[in-house]
Structure 1
Amino acid sequence: MALTLLAFAFALGLLVTFHEFGHYWVARRCGVKVLRFSVGFGRILWQRTDRRGTQWALSAIPLGGYVKMLDDPPPGADESASHEAFNRKSLAQRSAVVLAGPLANLLLAVLLYTGLGVMGTLEPAAILSAPAAGTPAAQAGVADGDELLEVDGTPVHSWNDARWRLLGPIVRGGEITLSVRPADGGPPRGLRLHTQAGDVAPDGPDPLAAAGLALADARPRLGELTPGGAAEQAGLRAGDLVEAIGGVEHPSVATMIEVISAHPGEALSLRVRRDDAELTLEVTPRPAQDGQGAAIGRIGVLVQGERPMVERRLGPVDSLWQGVARTVEMTGFSLRMMGRMLIGEASLRNVSGPVTIADYAGQTARLGLEPYIGFLALISISIGVLNLLPIPMLDGGHLLFYLIEAIRGRAVSERAREAGQRIGIALLFGLMSLAFFNDLVRLFS
């Protein structure tokens, strides 16, 4: 729980502060006087004032931050002081200041993805399992052990990369072209996958799995052996990679355990790879009893799952290009999902609140630095996209008023702004209520 709260507070603090720094940086470039930049909310714990008169503050509640600007000049202010007021700036300058916040979040996502590319990541190879009968993948001819090479002509380098490339096309529906290499190392072959537009819900089925595309099961590798056990007596060693058992080729860890359990006292043929050599041995599981008293087989070995892994490490330029491309793709995907929710083609269960976000923050933090950085990038994109929505009270709502001002040639009246703000507050309240409701449903279901 402590790690979850810490990871959530750090994520929200970083992302919102970066957002506000975007407003601050452009405001300063446009000559707007910034009165305060606060990291956190509530009681001020520490502060200092710089030579431009901006108060930099650290506040007690570390869940974001805010920028306070001089909106209107004080009574009796001279021309130079009046020129520093936000509302005295040109339409282009005001729009730039407002737009800078969401763009800062998108820029942060680019930097985070770029950092992941430079750091390098160890990811599962894109080896596919046998698709379930009747799924689009089965109908397209995907076979067990196929290595996915390309999606719609774009090379994929790992399973994580493959999921990224496949998710959007599968959700949209239509034809997807795949290039796969068979498990026996033969020449690549092209496949055409036809899917129907589907829904994505946090607690719903995985769209890729529903299409029949799933990562191959981990292969069993032997760990510590029980001294004098059946495995040791059969000549097995720690580190052996199991390729077949009892006539089952390329078994998963679960399948291997099932085969051993089902054959107490019966000899089983076991083919393993040891270093570069392939060996066939015979092991006889010793009878034991499970919790219900039924006879099961045991060979006295710790079985571990292993998947082929690939390391993805890019140079600075390629990492930056990947960061930009991934941010653009995720931004487009987020906008499409919002559009589908508006017209009823996607479930409103996709709207998540702070409880779900905190849960994901904790989960990714426990998995390691790389997943947590990826989580930060996704949430940063979400904050940027959300703030661009044309809802009064959000940055996008201000930009909507500025667009109307540009078309009409004069600013929107104060009365219209107040009405818009009331509508915006109602919409945001409804959105927040839906998010909290979804969070509670996931928490108690």
Structure 2
Amino acid sequence: MSDIPFYLGAFILVLGVLIVVHEFGHFAVARLCGVRVLRFSVGFGPVIWSRRFGADQTEWSLSAFPLGGYVRMLDEREAPVPAAELSRAFNRQGVGRRSAIVAAGPLANFLLAILIYWLMFWQGSEELRPVLGPPVAETPAARAGIANGERVLQVNGIPVETWQDFRWLLLQQAAKAPQVELELLNEQQERHYRSLDVAELAEQGWQGDAFAHLGLRFYQPRIPALVGQVQPGTPGARAGLREGDLFLEIGGQKIEHWAQVLETVRQAPGRDMSFLLRRGDQEFRVQITPEAVEERGVTFGRIGVGVAEAPGVAMPELRGFVSYGFLESGIKAVRETWDKSVFSLVMFGKMITGEASWRNLSGPVTIADYAGQSARLGLDYYLKFMALVSISLGILNLLPIPVLDGGHLMYHILEVIKGGPLSERAMAWGQQIGLSLLFTLMAFAFFNDLSRLLGPLFNG
């Protein structure tokens, strides 16, 4: 419960910045086009605070419901306009100017994402290298022959420098074809090419952790399976394990390094298992039942023993500082924003066609959770999360749904084709359809949030 204020604060800050940036885009271009802005509101519903500023005495306000905002402009369709100000009314502007004002909100969100990525790439950060661990048995990664310690060099011919780059590129390429080609460098500095079958992601409706479905994991050092600290009162302590004991077998499976101990125990919560160990010159066998532990809705086994220190264990370079030049960072930021925008549209299209599950749609609860998690990880993660949500907000607003910016742009296109504005009746019907679609999307998002939040409670 103590995390709730922190997560809520992180969410409000992200949401507030993105709403202000979006609405300021509308406001700035409206002013450039000579349109008078009557109100700039963060939030919907009753106004709870307001002040008037500027030559036009624009009302700057905070409203009761903070999930959005709006810019209200002088418009004859909403209220009578004095004859002296008719030229400054939104509805009196040409279709080009009106479209520019409407499109400026989503564009501002994309520009914010580009700016954040630009600064992040330019200043650089400490990143995990894309070094793979042992794949989960009977998964696409295992069938592809991936081995522990192999570093990813390229995904479908595209160079990879960081673990995050690898995750993103793999998803992006998997949306295009059922096979992805990986160029890998093993611990002996030999290059290998692996063909990874990613069709399972589509079969799963693109739900959950893609890397978990594929069996991909980060590098696991080959630390000897020596027992370190044994926690009192745990299954390991009750079985008599001591510091310095060496695991030889678990459930008949030969153990060669500590990662195998962790993996085998994690997969056996509440299951009685036979452990063969060596203490000094003597081998002995004990029966241990790993206790079931639940974290974030995932149940796994634990016996309460740590690994002993292993000085001198050779490990590949797992971290490195990654940065780019000023201009290169800008180009990379534009490309990053474009790629993520296209991927979002592709996934939304897959949801419409049934290729991807609607459970991928997230609402404010999930966004708040991710906002808090990223804020705890540090400023870099939080800003990158803000950039990603800003892109999503820009894409959402450009969807051709009446009441959204994309719906208004659709009206403007139809106006150009028709040679005049649509009838008020057509606009009214469009508004009703748009609101219905928007409420349907919101209902799906809230349902998914509740499923993620309450699902583990009912499943447990």
TM interval, shorter chain, is 0.7 to 0.9
Q: How does 1:189-208 map to 2 (within 5 A)?
A: 189-196=192-199, 198-199=201-202, 204-208=207-211
Query: What whole-Å deviation, never above 9, does each CA across 1:53-76 have from its counterpart, x for those lacking one?
Result: 323345566554321111129757
Please name the residue that 1:230 is paired with: none
Is 1:361 equivalent to 2:371 in the alignment?
A: yes
1:350 aligns with 2:354: no
1:92-107 matched pairs, under 5 angstroms = 92-107=96-111
Report how far residue 99 of structure 1 moved: 0.7
Q: Aligned to 2:195, what secondary structure does the other structure show?
A: strand
Q: State how far apart, in whole Å, the 2-side matches of 1:434 and 1:40 are.
A: 22
**Which sits farther off after the overlay, 376-385 or 168-177?**
168-177
- Residue 143 (str. 1) matches residue 147 (str. 2): yes
Q: How many residues matched?
A: 412
Q: In the aligned structure 2, how far is the partner of 1:373 from the partner of 1:144? A: 32
Is residue 2:164 matched to residue 1:160? yes
Aligned-residue offset at 1:137: 2.9
What is the match of residue 259 of structure 2?
A: 252
In the other structure, the counterpart of 2:220 is: 217
Who is 1:78 aligned against?
83
User: CA distance change for structure 1 residues 44 and 210 in 2, over 3 Å: closer, same or farther?
Assistant: closer
Q: How does 1:33-432 map to 2 (within 5 A)?
A: 33-40=36-43, 42-58=46-62, 63-72=67-76, 75=80, 77-79=82-84, 81-184=85-188, 186-196=189-199, 198-199=201-202, 204-217=207-220, 251-252=258-259, 254-255=261-262, 262=275, 266-267=279-280, 308-432=318-442
SS across alignment from 2:215: coil
TM-score by length of 1: 0.80
Following superposition, the deviation at residue 168 of structure 1 comes to: 1.9
Per the normalisation by structure 2, the TM-score is 0.78
* Cα shift readout 1:251-302 (whole Å, capped 9, x = no counterpart): 43954997xx95666138xxxxxxxxxxxxxx999x9x9999xxx9979958
Structure 1, unmatched stretches of 5+, are: 227-232, 235-243, 269-282
- Assess, with a 3 A threshold, how the Cα gap between structure 1 residues 75 and 196 changes in structure 2: closer, same or farther: closer
Q: Does 1:18 align with 2:21?
A: yes
Amino acid corresponding to residue 213 of structure 1 in structure 2: L
Task: Give a deviation string over 1:384-433, Cα, whole Å, max 9, x none.
Answer: 11111111111111111111011111111111000111111111111111
What is the RMSD of the two structures over their aligned residues, measured on CA atoms?
3.8
Residue identity over aligned pairs, in percent, reads: 43
Stretch moving more, 22-31 or 207-216: 207-216
Structure 2: stretches of 5+ with no match in the other structure: 231-242, 249-253, 266-273, 292-302, 456-460
SS in 1 for 2:415: helix
- 1: CA distance, partners of 2:289 / 2:211: 36
Deviation at 1:328, TM superposition (A): 0.8
Distance 1:266 1:110 in 2: 58
Distance 1:40-1:341 versus aligned 2 partners, 3 A rule: closer
**Distance in 1, Cα, partners of 2:357 & 2:289:** 44
Stretches (4+) displaced over 6 A: 200-203, 244-247, 289-292, 296-300, 302-307
Give the drift of 1:337.
0.8
In structure 1, give the amino acid aligned to 2:58.
Answer: T
CA separation in 2, counterparts of 1:116 and 1:127?
22
Residue 21 of structure 1: CA displacement? Answer: 0.6
Distance 1:432 1:214 in 2: 34
Q: Is the 8 A contact 1:173 1:198 kept in 2?
A: no
